[in-house]
A and B are shown apart, each in its own frame.
Chain A
Amino acid sequence: MAQHKVNYTQDGGLPIALTSVDKIVNWGRSNSLWALTYGLACCGIEMMASGASRFDFDRYGTIFRASPRQADVMIVAGTLTKKHAEFIKRLYDQMTEPRWVISMGSCANTGGMFNTYATVQGCDRIIPVDLYLPGCAPRPETLQYGVMLLQKKIRANKAGNAQKAKRLM
């Protein structure tokens, strides 16, 4: 049996830290943001670099998952074409709540340089977006900072209350 060392002179002798439900739930949510592998274009390369050893998303507890059912955050990394629009909606609907969306790069934010008939002019026309990252393509540092901001946003929420489901309409 494990021998836990208990400091009987601290915290009334109990190996317990007191916190609130909000904080412990948000601590769990924000520190294990599992992201969906969703590289649509060149931003996907930067997203992969962020996940690889040099920038190392694992430090934040962010692991890329290949299934939307296991993912908490969708990083829309790249150009969203109109042909693909129905699939981003389907994948978003398959993610379990609470779920967050990071729109990464100019193309996902506004359509970017693709001012054409075939590009969705901003993925927020299809799904609600929490965070927009500027850049073409954003550096991995930008994505890391974006994930940190998202963590901050999650921690600011009241986890105890039932979260209002985000809907575009």
Chain B
Amino acid sequence: MSEIDSKPKLTLSASFFMKAAMASFRKLDPRIQIRNPVMFVVYVGACLTTLLYFRSILTEGRAVSTSGFILATTIWLWLTVLFANFAEAVGEGQNRAQVETLRKARQDTPAKKIAEAKYGASFEVISSRNLKRNDLILVEAGDWIPGDGEAVAGLASIDESAITGESAPVIRGAGGDFDSVTGGTRVLSDWLIVRITADPGEAFLDRMIKMVEGAARQKTPNEIALTILLAAMTVIFLLVCATLLPFSVFSVRLMHHGHPVSITILVALLVCLIPTTIGALLSAIGIAGMGRMLRANVLATSGRAVEAAGDVDVLLLDKTGTITLGNRQATKFYPAGNVSEKDLADLAQLASIADQTPEGRSIVVLAKQYGIRERDLASLDARFIPFSASTRMSGVDLGVRQIRKGASDAIRKHVERQSGTFPDSVQEIVDFVARNGSTPIVVSDQSSVVGVIELKDIVKGGIKERFIQLRRMGIQTIMITGDNRLTAAAIAAEAGVDDFLAEATPEKKLELIRDIQARGKLVAMTGDGTNDAPALAQADVAVAMNSGTQVAKEAANLVDLDSNPTKLIEIVETGKQLLMTRGALTTFSIANDVAKYFAILPAAFSSIYPQLNALNIMDLSSPAHAVLSAVIFNALIIVALIPLALKGTKYRPIGAERVLRRFLWIYGVGGVILPFVGIKLIDLVLVGAHWL
């Protein structure tokens, strides 16, 4: 909620509203009107009273007051229709404006397209958008891989943490089982030549843009169900009003005086009774829901997905990037034997000084706490030894002095090659750090091991509070990670998730989702890798990161342009808001009817039963005013509620019972009381203005 609200609001100018007003007249086309059964009844009623008005001025020129009343009622009936159209037009206009900014702001990944699969061949930089299947591209250390593909030459270490959740870099190279690379991952060292295997066409985004503009919007399941309920109410009220004609004819016969209720009053009563408030705003609510997603930078492939988000029971979250920061950070130095902590920090800093990976930078930052300043590489006669996939170490050479850091087995090999020994005490530290769910990095100086750096997954600030919030919303969170169980358990406990899936493989993920769904629950997940695609396709609400692969985006039903995995929480809230707004306005709409009966019934039968004025508890000034006031209130309340329909009701995770109690007070009890006040005020204005 807060994140959506903090997005820059659209500036709505006068011309925007003019456009919306114009559109509301264009929407008077009966082919458009018939799509909304409730408003179509109003539309037909307005047509009917228009005809009655012309008949009255042609045939009964003398009864000016009658035709004046019909005219006033007719005008307000047409306004009711127009206000509904206006609400829809404003929602659509907002979305259209949003899409424009989206189109402009879209960014691409640059891709180095090369002619032949040979390192050093000339390349041109093109946009990832223009990549086609079978294009050859070069990716070097620091580059983002622009699309899914397979390595045809080279060997590189790649940070796939954004996709697999595994913090440690993986090695990818031509030939063998490890040749596939995924878009959105980053090369850490060395290079690769990749053949693109997927067409990242324009079609996907365009399809979604069309959706949010409203043209291709389809009604969501709950919206259809609600429409049916509203249509049924409309039919009942149609019968209630239609049968009043014979009832009043009969009453005239019984009482031998008065005249039957007029058609105009029956139409007015009908329009007031049928749920026009929700009927008029229903489609605007749906459109605005898509719009709110858009403003949160989420594209939905269907409204159904947004709505389903509100029902989610279980949230699967990737550890990396969602629960923890994308990369591990150095948190502690464990010196070996007689080495002081400061000396270890000094050597660790030296070994990392030219290391630009986030882990390397974090070691330098940690060393600073020991008073060790960054040093100039040139003045030290230092030579940076970058991480390579073959040695799996990095470090620095100061003249002949070799300082290295790396995984314990790599360093063990390194020192033993120089006839050094890898002390048991260091091995103990390594095991201890691993047990804590962290990654041990061993530092060596020449042939001696000087200590261990603890690299830890850092749980994002504030994430724990979000999980508490989700739990209050009734949503269970499960952390997905490629890490081993120990590491996973440690992080899960720290982050406060309800459960975790360790050593996750695509098959395991899919199995987990199916298992949860078999228990009748709805699953939401985020993903961006190709190997997420089966799980994304299986999940009920699947959010793909825009940085993810095309396959993942095709499998998902929502795409997050910010590639921010915690966005799921906002999506769930928006889904809930959609339903809540509809429910609130339906309750309000029906609750309103009570007051309208008290206004119109005594007026409708005033000539047969003047004693029915006992029901005129609002003390409205005249029958004509009473009917008109109710119709005007009915029309104006639509305009008054447009902002609520577009913004949605506030969602607070306070439990279903409390939400319901709140809403029943506001929209139920409030909905009964408000029209009594409103109709009375309008009547006073009509009297003051000497209308009719």
Q: Is this pair of chains taken from one and the same complex?
A: no
Q: A-side interface residues toward B, CB under 8 Å? A: none
